[in-house]
A and B are shown apart, each in its own frame.
Chain A
């Protein structure tokens, strides 16, 4: 049901521009549980289509990334162009005078593709709003990481993938609004790296959300970045502060690397400062495939690339000292629901009720204090909206 109502109707992140820079470059990933190919075709545009042959349904691309001229099915040799169109059929004369064989209708089923700041999203619903409308006010926040430098961002090569035995919503809600867990769950990492846990300040921190997307953050500028244990990263941010302010203004500059986490509904999460994006791909109700990337400003010095790559590996990847303790929580939050009585019980998600404020600068719904569950509630409101709406026309703007 979620696959139909959420993943087949929402804008799902599939690739950053820098992952498929040249014509022919491709990668394979998932939109919900639909395997897709993301490829840059001869029109220099990024195309997304299902990774399943129109003849017998076999997978047509088995590599996770590479460069190709076409995608050819191993089964009977049907081949498809970089835009998913059917380009070749083995012994095509067999289909002569066959009215059911229409080459133009036998391409690989395509998704709409739109991008924001180099981030490409796919959507299989022709009635869905544009990506710009879908993101709404959250675009103004995404600019904090995507557009704090005129060069934008690039992804570091490689994508760490791992499987967690948890429902995809637990990590998605964790990133959209769970500052509360940070100093408790991650106490061991914080003590090991710094000998103490950081303080979050209610009066100087917020949760913001729009259309079910959300960001919880302090205004400490470099709190997340500092936990990468690479002082040059913090130095870079401080040296670039004036440039950030010019592009983003003072308030958003305070968020460039601050103690924070965020989710773009439904399953794209990121950590500003740590410079990591990740997606939570459902594999049935009790399993999730996590894809983790590192990004940085394209114009940042090369030496810094290495610092981010290693820093994220040490902290927020499956072997990272922070992430180590997250997986345990997500899995057991999921497993405990096997019990009928346990599942019947309502969980408490009421932290920070009544904390909504008007803020002169911040857009969307703004809540005081990052230790809050306002963003959890907004995430699940959006989830309910989509799960109960027969079509996008019935989904309210939030």
Chain B
């Protein structure tokens, strides 16, 4: 996978145009709704061909520890290209995907969207927070929170695509039996 996933982030990037920020915000809200409604095929359409969708395992290490807090060579929840994402969707679509039936009630809240320019005129680094709730069966409630850093690209057709997504889960021990959603 190389290091292509590290989405650049700077502290003092200039503000982008208000219209652009609005377009990207609407894009992310729509993406969240597609996930809530399990419209996974349409969601996959929002991914660039070279998407790297990465959710590393998070370790609690001391501040003085020189080892990286996260690393591409460590185990991850997701470290996916488009082919892997498609396999996950394919499983969810089977009538024998027991953990999907009755359906999970998904809830994706996206907030703190911050758009920063990159060196390329058609790509932006986009920070956001995601708050996800999954309700299942009678009283199951699974809660996930994460910081996201996306590279969003406008393709020649004008369509926005997610080219990189780095998801920093807040939990070191996943408080859930599974991960039958995307963040």
Contact = CB atoms under 8 A, between A and B. Distances in A.
B177 A330 contact: yes
A327 B60 contact: no
A185 B77 CA distance: 21
A324 B180 contact: yes
Contacts of B61: 63-66
Contact of B177 (A156, A162, A192, A305): A162
Q: Is the interface of B mostly helix, strand, loop or mixed?
A: loop
A356 interface: no
A188 B91 contact: yes
A305 B176 CA distance: 27
A331 B174 contact: no
Contact of A192 (B1, B94, B174): B94
Nearest to A155: B75
B82 interface: no
Contacts of A159: 57, 75
Interface stretch (A118-126, A216-224, A314-322): A314-322
Contact of A185 (B57, B73, B98): B98
A365 B96 CA distance: 35
Interface of B: 1, 55-57, 59-62, 65, 67, 71, 73-80, 84, 87-88, 90-99, 172-180
B134 to A, nearest CB: 12
Interface of A: 62-67, 156-166, 184-185, 187-189, 191-193, 229, 289, 292-294, 305-306, 309-310, 312-314, 317-319, 321, 323-325, 327-331
24 contacts: A62-B62, A64-B172, A65-B61, A65-B67, A66-B62, A67-B65, A159-B57, A160-B77, A161-B173, A185-B98, A188-B92, A309-B75, A309-B76, A313-B76, A314-B80, A314-B87, A318-B77, A318-B178, A318-B179, A319-B178, A321-B91, A325-B178, A328-B177, A328-B178
A163 B87 contact: no
B28 to A, nearest CB: 21
B75 A192 contact: no
Given A165-B177, A314-B87, A325 B74 contact: no
Contacts of B55: 319
7 interchain residue pairs of minimum CB distance: A327-B177, A158-B74, A158-B75, A319-B179, A188-B94, A192-B90, A188-B97
Contacts of B76: 158, 160, 309, 313
A163 B77 contact: no
Contact of A191 (B78, B79, B94): B94
Contacts of A293: 75
Given A65-B59, A188-B94, A318-B176, A157 B77 contact: no
Nearest to B174: A162
A330 B55 CA distance: 25
A63 B79 CA distance: 24
B65 A66 contact: yes
B79 A313 contact: yes
Contact of A157 (B1, B73, B98): B73
Given A156-B74, A161-B172, A163-B175, A321 B79 contact: no
A62 B62 CA distance: 8
Contacts of A331: 177
Contacts of B94: 187-188, 191-192
B107 to A, nearest CB: 18
